[in-house]
Chains A and B, each alone.
Chain A
């Protein structure tokens, strides 16, 4: 069974800092998702990737398949980036394409 671990669990930083959130998984995957849950509760899909790197605005997601590791970076962080960031992986062995979810990283950006 795939285990998904995120680090850190909690992260507080000053506005403008470069942020890195990590996600590690234990077995091979076919895809990895990064999602954001706002303080109000809404969940938004940020990235889905299976190799390399994706960029959207100030957000960058990378994945290293060999090391079973992904990172989510936020450049020039802003208080509105404060949210919980969740990593989820899909196993190619699961015919139901079920996602295995990490526990999330709570990010607080102080002005």
Chain B
């Protein structure tokens, strides 16, 4: 069974579109994260949810919004996509804040 899953794996879209990436974990973890990995391979935290509350919100554009319908899901919505949003987005989860993180397979977003 996949511990942390993301869909879709690849997403190609036009500038200005709105898109969503879904993330689900079946580990029973309390905390979930979204990371952006750019072309230089740096991992940057975007959001973190603990018990459905946003606990980290880095200086990301407000076009990005996390949505957590329940503890097992943290979806990422992106409005008005821009070329610079092209990257690989990773979802992760951990049992509690600061504990070992388990990563999803990543979603490669390409904005044309």
Contacts and interface: CB of A to CB of B under 8 A. Distances in A.
Interface extent on A, as a size class? Answer: 20 to 34
A97 B100 CA distance: 11
Interface residues of B, number: 22
B102 A45 contact: yes
B99 interface: yes
B105 A103 contact: no
Nearest to B106: A41
Contacts of B41: 37, 84, 103-104
B101 A33 contact: yes
B83 interface: no
A31 interface: yes
Given A103-B41, A103-B42, A42 B105 contact: yes
Contact of B90 (A43, A45, A48, A90): A43
Main secondary structure of the interface of A (DSSP, over half): strand
A101 B43 contact: yes
A81 B48 CA distance: 30
A2 to B, nearest CB: 14
A76 interface: no
B80 to A, nearest CB: 26
B97 interface: yes
Contacts of A48: 99-100
B69 to A, nearest CB: 22
B97 A97 contact: yes
B55 interface: yes
6 contacts: A33-B100, A33-B101, A41-B88, A43-B103, A103-B41, A104-B41
Interface of B: 40-45, 48, 55-56, 88, 90, 92, 97-103, 105-106, 108
Which 8 A-B pairs rank lowest in CB-CB distance, beginning with the nearest? A97-B98, A43-B103, A97-B97, A48-B100, A101-B43, A96-B56, A41-B106, A45-B100
